[in-house]
Amino acid sequence: MAYTWNVEDYKLIKERNNKTIRWENEVIFEDVFRYSEAEKIAFVDSMTDGKLTKIVNAINAYTNDSDIIKKDDWGYPKKNSLNAWIKRNKFDDVIDTNYSSGEFTIFGMKRTLWNANEKYSYDNLANVVDEAFNRTLHYLAKEETKHYNNNDPYMIKFKAVRNHPYTSAVVDYGYSSSGEIFINDEDGNRRNLTVEDMDKLLEAADKIKEYAEKIRSEFKF
């Protein structure tokens, strides 16, 4: 079955928010293990104009032709020989021949033809297809976050309260990184503001703004 994704489902950020993590990029999405290699390649291809298929083909071809590519004293391919092979096989649209010869990237993942299935320090998975797919899902999770912040009624009000110059003059409030406006009651208990609460706060802040602008327009030394 083909992998599908819809930004409005917020599937990826919901899964990420339900995990205990130190930072977002350490998450391995469960779909990595639910879908076949062919399905994962097809989806990443759909997001990258077929790039992952080309990379996998280049990795396989390099493995087959490794013996004919000249190596240096440490066993790594010599740049001139490797670049000639990459260009001859028409892989230079996905494999670097300039700054880091033999390197390829997808959504922040960086690997080389000779270490294609070796996990690097910022990777989560050794298998190149799995890591590319997981990186793609992290990219899409960011797209979900952008969509949520721009379309969710609560987040729209959250930004309006944060951006209004006089809301803090009405009431002392705090805000969380997850997007919640809150106040502390007389007993020190935290209460998250509702959309209706924020509407009321913005209405009061507008009155202060209107009054401040009137004073400013009338003021003279």
Regarding whether 68 and 171 lie in a shared domain, the answer is: no
**Structural domain boundaries, residue 173:** 152-218
Let me know: does 76 contact 114? Beta carbons within 8 Å: yes
Cα(105)–Cα(92) distance, rounded to whole angstroms? 12
Domain check: are 121 and 31 in the same one? yes
pLDDT tens for each residue of 99-151: 899 999 999 999 999 999 999 888 999 999 999 999 999 999 999 999 999 99
Cβ atoms 163, 139 nearer than 8 A: no
Residue 65 lies in a domain: yes
Q: How much is the pLDDT for 123?
A: 93
My answer on whether 29 and 129 are in the same domain is yes
- 124 and 18 together in one domain: yes
- Residues present in the chain in total: 221
| Interacting residues of 149 by C-beta distance below 8 A, sequence separation 6+ | 155, 159, 179
Q: How many domains does the chain have?
A: 2
Q: Looking at the whole model, is its pTM more than 0.85? A: no
> Is 1 domain-assigned?
no
